């Protein structure tokens, strides 16, 4: 890099380092540059800043409506879980339930050094943990609420925060506290539970693709990767630009395992007592990290237009102060027309240099950036750039044309993101049928998923390769009908 000629050849990017140079560092830079989140003084817990939180709000609003249309009822269960509840569910104990925040006292008092310490007199008889999931506390309520087959199906959901103590954390991808929704349903028959797990996975896939331009493979997990206690876990596995897998959502068919351990039983139509068939499912703020790693480029975030906090940003390019008034007025007129038509639009009228505003819009991934100068105003037109295509896409349209066609532009951006992500996924999924082939693939530093026949999982040689390259089974894609399984490095 000491050769000036080389330095010149490297294109200027808003984000340093680039994806190729250091993908994990690039990721952190994008989050920072887009002003989406930051680390907090609480180890492992993030602050989601307004721009990142607006994205999450847009996502939850859409999906919440879908859940309600599907008959889900939202409710709220306690943040704290009695430790005895975790002990009850033996398989939880060996799962994630151990690494969690434990509440042992209910009062602070002045300590010897003047600071505050937990009051010894206020030690709880039974400690609580902050929910790592609400499985047991919701199950306990279901056991009370379900008495007869008439009470079924019971379809509950909760949007909320949960906590799993993480040693190594990364904004959105792995944080001790995160946000999610968790659905917990109880059914009369095994078929209904199975259908629910499949249906909700279908909702996830549709939501991710149609709103987030976020694609991946959906299918059952292998036994080793199943949720503790589930008879089937279905995962949605997305591929990041470094070829690693990110699990973006799961649904679980818990059969009667969970209802038996917690006592969710009902009087059936035949008058006999039976245990309910339950499911649970979730997606979390982790998806935001996945969206950054799937869509972003070396200039920062690219926001999928249908959930973008700002879909269109208008920059008045003021060259001389005398004309500023008219120009600002012109921009405001376009803004109100856009808002009236239902677009999330904004004028950036801050007292800052235009190139700085432009780069900020780029780094934040705002889908359409409109630049309006004297020339545009005189021609009653606008010039705009698509974030996904960059400056090559610069187009000038009359205001009427822009208003008539802007929805189409946003849809085209969505389609472009989705199809390029689909292509990347397909291009980086290798069909391989031998253990040697798997070793060769990863030894050659290729990135992506390998899709192998499920029988290969029985081969002890494969375990060595998996250990060597830190591969895990991701899912058995539905389209392969259980004959193939995906292996990948993962987040």
339: contact with its own copies by CB under 8 A:
no
Nearer to its own copies, 145 or 391 (CB): 145
Least Å distance between CB 228 and its own copies? Answer: 15
In angstroms, rounded to a whole number, what is the distance separating the alpha carbons of residues 58 and 73? 20
One of 31, 34, 59, 86 touching its own copies (CB under 8 A): 86
Half-sphere exposure of 85 (CA within 13 A, CB side): 20
Residue numbers 275-334 binding its own copies by CB under 8 A = none
One of 15, 31, 33, 48 touching its own copies (CB under 8 A): 48
Residue numbers 147-176 binding its own copies by CB under 8 A = 150, 156, 160-161, 163, 165
Residues 6+ apart with CB under 8 A from 95: 228
Rounded to 5 degrees, φ, ψ at 134 are -100, 10
Q: What DSSP element (H or E) covers 293?
A: helix 286-295
Residue numbers 340-379 binding its own copies by CB under 8 A = 350-351
Residues 6+ apart with CB under 8 A from 293: 23, 27, 240, 241, 242, 246
Nearer to its own copies, 98 or 170 (CB): 98
As given in the structure block, the two tokens for residue 7 are: 């330095």
Burial 165-184 (b: 16+ CB within 10 A, else e): bbeebbbbbbbbbbbbbbbb
Q: Judged by CB under 8 A, how many residues of this single chain contact its own copies?
A: 68
For 50, counting Cβ atoms within 10 Å of its Cβ (0-12 exposed, 13-18 middle, 19+ buried), the class is: exposed
One of 34, 83, 291, 417 touching its own copies (CB under 8 A): 83
* Sign of the dihedral through C-alpha 304, 489, 28, 51: positive
Neighbours of 23 (CB within 10 A): 17
In angstroms, rounded to a whole number, what is the distance separating the alpha carbons of residues 161 and 285? 10
454: contact with its own copies by CB under 8 A:
no
* Sign of the dihedral through C-alpha 471, 477, 482, 484: negative
One of 135, 140, 299, 376 touching its own copies (CB under 8 A): 140
65: contact with its own copies by CB under 8 A:
no
Nearer to its own copies, 174 or 466 (CB): 174
Least Å distance between CB 461 and its own copies? Answer: 36
One of 81, 203, 370, 432 touching its own copies (CB under 8 A): 81
One of 10, 22, 108, 431 touching its own copies (CB under 8 A): 108
Nearer to its own copies, 79 or 412 (CB): 79
Closest CA to 394 of 409, 408, 380, 404: 409
Least Å distance between CB 22 and its own copies? Answer: 26
106: contact with its own copies by CB under 8 A:
yes
One of 13, 17, 23, 53 touching its own copies (CB under 8 A): 53
One of 10, 22, 65, 109 touching its own copies (CB under 8 A): 109
115: contact with its own copies by CB under 8 A:
yes
Half-sphere exposure of 438 (CA within 13 A, CB side): 29
Least Å distance between CB 81 and its own copies? Answer: 7
Binding site for its own copies (CB under 8 A): 40-42, 45-50, 52-54, 56-57, 73-87, 93, 97-110, 114-119, 122, 127-130, 137, 140-141, 150, 156, 160-161, 163, 165, 177, 179, 350-351
């Amino acid at each position: 890099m000491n050769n000036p000629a080389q330095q010149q050849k490297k294109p200027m990017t808003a984000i340093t380092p680039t994806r190729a140079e250091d993908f994990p560092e690039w990721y952190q830079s994008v989050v920072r540059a887009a002003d989406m989140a930051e680390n907090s003084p609480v180890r492992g817990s993030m602050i989601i800043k307004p721009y990142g939180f607006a994205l999450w709000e847009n996502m939850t609003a859409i999906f919440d409506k879908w859940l309600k249309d599907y008959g889900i009822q939202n409710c709220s269960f306690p943040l704290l879980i009695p430790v005895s509840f975790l002990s009850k569910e033996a398989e939880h104990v060996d799962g994630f339930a151990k690494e969690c925040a434990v509440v042992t006292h209910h009062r602070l008092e002045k300590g010897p050094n003047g600071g505050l310490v937990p009051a010894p007199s206020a030690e709880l008889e039974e400690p609580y943990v902050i929910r790592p999931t609400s499985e047991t506390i919701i199950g306990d309520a279901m056991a009370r609420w379900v008495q007869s087959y008439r009470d079924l199906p019971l379809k509950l959901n909760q949007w909320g925060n949960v906590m799993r103590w993480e040693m190594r954390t990364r904004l959105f991808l792995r944080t001790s506290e995160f946000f999610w929704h968790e659905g917990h349903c109880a059914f009369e028959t095994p078929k209904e539970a199975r259908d629910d797990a499949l249906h909700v996975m279908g909702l996830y896939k549709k939501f991710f693709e149609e709103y987030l331009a976020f694609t991946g493979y959906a299918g059952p997990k292998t036994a080793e990767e199943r949720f503790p206690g589930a008879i089937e876990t279905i995962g949605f596995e997305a591929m990041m630009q470094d070829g690693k897998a990110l699990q973006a959502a799961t649904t679980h068919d818990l059969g009667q395992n969970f209802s038996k351990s917690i006592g969710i039983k009902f009087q059936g139509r035949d008058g006999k007592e039976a245990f309910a068939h339950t499911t649970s499912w979730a997606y979390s703020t982790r998806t935001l990290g996945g969206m950054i790693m799937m869509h972003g480029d070396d200039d920062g975030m690219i926001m999928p237009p249908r959930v973008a906090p700002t879909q269109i940003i208008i920059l008045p390019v003021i060259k001389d102060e005398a004309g500023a008034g008219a120009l600002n007025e012109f921009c405001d007129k376009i803004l109100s027309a856009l808002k009236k038509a239902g677009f999330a639009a904004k004028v950036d009228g801050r007292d800052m240099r235009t190139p700085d505003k432009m780069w900020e819009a780029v780094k934040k991934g705002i889908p359409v950036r409109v630049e309006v100068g004297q020339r545009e105003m005189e021609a009653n037109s606008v010039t705009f750039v698509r974030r996904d295509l960059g400056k090559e896409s610069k187009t000038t349209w009359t205001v009427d044309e822009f208003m008539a066609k802007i929805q189409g532009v946003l849809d085209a951006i969505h389609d472009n993101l989705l199809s390029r992500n689909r292509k990347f996924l397909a291009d980086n999924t290798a069909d391989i049928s031998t253990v040697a082939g798997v070793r060769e693939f990863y030894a050659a530093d290729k990135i992506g998923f390998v899709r192998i026949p499920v029988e290969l999982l029985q081969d002890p040689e494969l375990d060595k390769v998996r250990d060597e390259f830190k591969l895990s089974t991701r899912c058995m894609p539905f389209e392969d009908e259980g004959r193939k399984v995906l292996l990948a490095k993962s987040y």
